[in-house]
Amino acid sequence: MKEHFVAGLCMNLLASAQRQKAANNPPVDVILIGGGVMSATLGALLKELEPDWTIQLYERLDKIAEESSNGWNNAGTGHAAYCELNYTPERADGSIDISKAVSVNESFEVSRQFWSYLVKNRRVGAPETFINNVPHMSFVWGEEDVNFLRKRYETLQQSTLFHGMEYTEDSHVIKQWAPMIMEGREPFQKVAATRMAMGTDVNFGELTRQMLASLAQRDGFDLHLKHEVVNITRGEDATWEITVADLNNDGKRSSVRARHVFIGAGGAALTLLQKSGIPAARGYAGFPVGGKFLVTTRPDIVDHHLAKVYGKASVGAPPMSVPHIDTRMLDGERSLLFGPYATFSSKFLKRGSWFDLFSSLNRHNLLPMFRVGWDNLNLLRYLISQALMSDKNRLAALQAYYPEARLEDWQLIDAGQRVQIIKKDRVKGGILQFGTEMVSANDGSLSALLGASPGASTAAPIMLELMNSMFKDRAASPAWRDKLQEIIPSYGRPLSGDAELTNRIHAYTSRLLHLNYAEAGQPGATDTWGTLPKVI
């Protein structure tokens, strides 16, 4: 008993000494938690706007971009809403709602402008190392889905952002676009497809590594690997005290103060947000969903397909489970990926703990969690069926998109872990929300990003939104506005509906990123495309 008392006293004295040491040191301007694309994007933006600011980034793993930002843990679609059918739901009257698709595409165009600025100013390497043209296609079969795709295409043409998209119900044309999905298919099956040749494949892991490597060379930026943030508290002086365990040094703890904190730790963001104690965090819970992909690198298969082909999700499936067969360009090598096959785990991170889900539960979010489970029984049944799926059934799912596929040519790999948002709702008690959401302290000094897709593809606009709340006065200043206009030429102006601005931005980003584009104002036009790699 005496030994325990002495040990506890020593720990308290040590913690007090660490707090005193932190209090005596000036606070850093910004702390970033998590070494993924979100933190890298915010750090890169802030260093352009405020070169003299001190910024520290803490990542618990020994490498950056190893969770959701890793190229093998996501589809790398560069979500532009060209091919993702879940962004264009059908209304009860049969019309197509394209508002989400337009919003996602506008956001992706902002990200493209930001990456173009990084390339132009040599903050990252050659664009081919992280972004490449891969056409985006939607592909459906059956009378009902063909009618849906036709209406979707026609409605999307109302926006200048989707000019250049092609539509066909001719199986011979589809075979030219993507031979693999047509060979061996029933010849009289009713099919339809759309194609956007200016679609891209993005290696977000490589992009993140390049951004942080550049930041690490700049004064005032410190990158700490194998450092886990274990607590976040508000100090009496309104700064935030961050307690960090140094995993390089047996978990030795230290504290650092910061004026502003961003929690961009993927699935771990929820528990860290809860530790901050801000009122806005109450009522939030997380629903973890994982995934597996079938992957092949066989040259005779990989070279026969150059497209990201998305279909319609199964009934009850979450949006992130939309089936797709994708060309991937990772670290200079081409591969094909098909999936995802949903999985369930109580982990919030791929390299997380089995107790993540349970440790996130509290009296504020138990009711929302229960209500979401009750209201989403179809989703639970879907996840169970996916978990029990046999190799034969996985092959059948693949053959719906690649009729001549053989399972022995493919390898099953684990993809990333995603945590979908559960939040309080006055009417339902709790709702399951797909997408991303920013949760912030009242004064904006601390913010956390929760949720999943489209995520990385919209990192730049999400971080711009965060800066408008975290740094209100500076964001409204002429100095920041002018610099942001340089970084994002369309800053503050929508592209949709403005053909001249759309063309100018597409030309600008395509030139710097070495990509192809089509001119707005010419729906379906193909004569402005550059040369795409051949499919054999």
pLDDT in tens, 199-238: 999 999 999 999 999 999 999 999 999 999 999 999 888 8
Whole-number Å distance between alpha carbons of 440 and 118:
28
Other CB atoms within 10 A of residue 343 CB: 17
pLDDT in tens, 412-434: 998 877 788 888 877 788 887 77
Average model confidence (pLDDT) across the chain: 88
- The confidence score (pLDDT) of residue 284 equals 87
Confidence of residue 534 (pLDDT cuts 50, 70, 90): very low
Q: List CB contacts of 454: < 8 A, sequence separation 6 or more.
A: 79, 104, 107, 108, 435, 436
- The confidence score (pLDDT) of residue 528 equals 44
- The confidence score (pLDDT) of residue 23 equals 54
pLDDT in tens, 168-195: 999 999 999 999 999 999 989 999 999 9
Q: In angstroms, what CA-CA distances link 520 with 82, 243, 515?
A: 15, 51, 16
Q: Residue 520 pLDDT more than 50?
A: yes
Superfamily for the 15-75+203-278+441-452 domain:
FAD/NAD(P)-binding domain (3.50.50.60)
Contact 244, 57 (CB under 8 A): no
Q: List CB contacts of 92: < 8 A, sequence separation 6 or more.
A: none
Among 93-107, 146-160, 250-264, 365-379, which is the least confidently predicted range? 365-379
Contact 370, 428 (CB under 8 A): no
Contact 246, 226 (CB under 8 A): yes
Place of tokens 């971009």: 65
Higher-pLDDT residue of 370 and 489 is 489
Q: Cα-Cα-Cα-Cα dihedral of 23, 28, 33, 38, to 10°?
A: 160
Whole-number Å distance between alpha carbons of 429 and 368:
5
- The confidence score (pLDDT) of residue 532 equals 40
Helix spans in 217-340 (H): 269-276, 299-302
Confidence of residue 529 (pLDDT cuts 50, 70, 90): very low
Residue type, position 194, single letter = T
Q: Residue 318 pLDDT more than 70?
A: no
DSSP 193: E
Q: Residue 6 pLDDT more than 70?
A: no
Residues 311-336 have a mean pLDDT of 80
pLDDT in tens, 232-248: 999 888 899 999 999 99
CA-wise closest residue to 166 among 514, 528, 533, 534:
528
- The confidence score (pLDDT) of residue 459 equals 92
Confidence of residue 362 (pLDDT cuts 50, 70, 90): confident
Q: List CB contacts of 300: < 8 A, sequence separation 6 or more.
A: none
Confidence of residue 353 (pLDDT cuts 50, 70, 90): confident
The conformational region for residue 450 under phi > 0 = left, psi -120 to 50 = alpha, else beta, is: beta
